[in-house]
């Protein structure tokens, strides 16, 4: 029974199949929302309300010619998309959706899995950097350098913002943090500032406007992905969509009380809460313009990092008052 459960967990929900379908849905949701905010229609043609458009795009790209540049590091260039996808899908496994018990740590839910998820979500950034670097294209190289420069800006505030709820809940385990805030919903309000900081940092991590600097179309063409085409580009795009789902799921677990109610009700919870987070991400994307890479770093260290430390101090004070 446990083996069947694990197989379902790995392959169907929340594993490969669900994550693939849900990330295409999330891409549709983001595109549609972004388009409606800009007074456009967004995808309408493929499937009902254009729901199948991201899947159609995926398969179209899979069928396109796949070119590897002559001077690129060919092995690295080809392996990176697969590595990236695997990393993001692994991170998804660690979110406490179902198949875990609060009392008994297991492979998918253990003490410290919060740190592991954060670590796994840092790796895609390096994948992007390596992808840009191994392409040997001038625009990709600049894109890759920008990816790393941005990383120095947003990573520290993000960690501080995500770890402060964990400090209040007195646990490094995602399932326990979520359960803590489910029992005391009023305490989730303490982390409001941290939630806002995390939203902005996550926007930077996902490289979306105003932080779409590494692949700023009007400046450096395709940026890190200039040389990628066909299958590899399709996988990179799927990876970025999946990363959005995982990141939204992480924020929902840490700040919004997780996904209680077993497989079915938990699924509903998961969808509602991640779409809630992604709604804000789309809103930020529609209402801002791209900033420069030096502005990202100074913004992150002048405002985000101090505010994240303030959030940590608030959490420590509240914790002192409670005990």
Partner 1 sequence: MKFQIPIGPQHPALKEPISLRMTVEGEVIRDADIRLGYNHRGLEKLAEQKTWIQNIYLTERICGICSHSHTTCYVQGVEKLMELEPPKRGLYIRTLVAELERIHSHLLWLGVAAHEAGFDSLFMYVWRDREIVMDILEIITGNRVHYGINTIGGVRRDLDAQQVQRILDSLAILRQRSEYYKHLGTNEPSFVARLAGVGYLSREDAIALCAVGPTLRASGVPMDVRKDDPYAVYDEVPFEVCTADTCDVLGRTVVRIKELFQCYNIIEFLLKNLPAGPVAVRAPRRAKPNEVVSRYEAPRGENIHYIKSNGTDKPERLKVRAPTLGNYAATIQMLKNGFIADVPLIFAAIDPCICCAERAVSLVDARTGQEKIISLNSLKSLSLKLSAGNERKREAEWPL
Q: Give residues in contact with partner 1 (CB under 8 A).
A: 37-40, 138-139, 142, 209-210, 212-213, 216-221, 286-295
Residue 43 or 84 having the CB closest to partner 1: 43
Rounded to whole angstroms, what are the CA distances from 157 to 160, 163, 246, 267, 278?
A: 5, 10, 19, 30, 19
Minimum Å gap between C-beta 221 and partner 1 is 6
Residue 188 or 213 having the CB closest to partner 1: 213
Residue 290 or 319 having the CB closest to partner 1: 290
Question: Quick count: other Cβ atoms within 10 Å of Cβ 225?
Answer: 23
Cα R_g (the chain), whole angstroms: 20
Minimum Å gap between C-beta 293 and partner 1 is 7
Residue 29 or 139 having the CB closest to partner 1: 139
Minimum Å gap between C-beta 204 and partner 1 is 13
Please list, in sequence order, all residues whose beta carbon lies within 8 angstroms of the beta carbon of residue 147, skipping any fewer than 6 positions away: 125, 128, 129, 132, 207, 214, 224
Residue 226 or 274 having the CB closest to partner 1: 226
Minimum Å gap between C-beta 61 and partner 1 is 18
Residue 294 or 313 having the CB closest to partner 1: 294
Minimum Å gap between C-beta 283 and partner 1 is 11
Minimum Å gap between C-beta 120 and partner 1 is 29
Minimum Å gap between C-beta 307 and partner 1 is 16
Rounded CA-CA distance 85/19 in Å is 11
Please list, in sequence order, all residues whose beta carbon lies within 8 angstroms of the beta carbon of residue 181, skipping any fewer than 6 positions away: 165, 169, 187, 188, 255, 256, 257, 258
- Identify the residue whose tokens are 């967990």: 9
* Residue from 172, 314, 141 nearest 254 by CA: 172
Cα 191 off chain centre by: 19
Rounded to whole angstroms, what are the CA distances from 300 to 27, 161, 164, 194, 278?
A: 27, 12, 17, 14, 21
Cis peptide before 82 (omega within 30 of 0): no
Residue 33 or 120 having the CB closest to partner 1: 33
Minimum Å gap between C-beta 237 and partner 1 is 18
The answer to whether the CB of 286 falls within 8 A of the CB of 161 is: no
Residue 77 or 139 having the CB closest to partner 1: 139
């Amino acid at each position: 029974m446990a083996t069947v459960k694990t197989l379902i967990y790995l392959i169907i929900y929340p594993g490969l199949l669900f994550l693939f379908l849900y990330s295409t849905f999330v891409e549709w949701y983001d595109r549609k929302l972004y388009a409606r905010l800009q007074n456009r229609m967004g995808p309408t043609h493929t499937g009902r309300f254009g729901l199948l458009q991201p899947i159609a795009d995926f398969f179209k790209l899979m069928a396109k010619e796949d070119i590897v540049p002559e001077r690129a590091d060919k092995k690295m260039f080809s392996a990176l998309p697969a590595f990236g996808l695997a990393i993001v899908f692994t991170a998804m496994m660690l979110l406490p959706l179902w198949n875990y018990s609060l009392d008994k740590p297991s492979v998918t839910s253990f003490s410290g899995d919060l740190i592991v998820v954060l670590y796994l979500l840092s790796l895609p950034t390096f994948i992007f950097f390596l992808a840009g670097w191994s392409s040997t294209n001038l625009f990709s190289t600049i894109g890759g350098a920008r990816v790393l420069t941005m990383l120095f800006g947003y990573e520290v505030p993000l960690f501080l913002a995500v770890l402060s709820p964990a400090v209040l809940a007195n646990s490094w385990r995602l399932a326990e943090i979520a359960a803590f805030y489910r029992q005391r919903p009023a305490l989730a309000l303490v982390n409001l500032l941290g939630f806002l900081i995390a939203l902005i940092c996550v926007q930077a991590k996902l490289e979306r406007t105003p932080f779409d600097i590494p692949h700023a179309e009007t400046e450096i063409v395709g940026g890190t992905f200039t040389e990628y085409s066909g299958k590899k580009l399709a996988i990179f795009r799927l990876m970025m969509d999946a990363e959005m789902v995982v990141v939204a799921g992480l924020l929902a677990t840490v700040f919004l009380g997780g996904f209680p109610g077993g497989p079915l009700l938990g699924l509903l919870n998961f969808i509602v809460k991640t779409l809630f987070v992604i709604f804000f991400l789309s809103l930020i994307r529609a209402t801002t313009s791209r900033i420069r890479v030096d502005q990202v770093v100074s913004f992150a260290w002048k405002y985000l990092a101090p505010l994240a430390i303030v959030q940590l101090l608030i959490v420590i004070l509240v914790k002192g008052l409670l005990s």
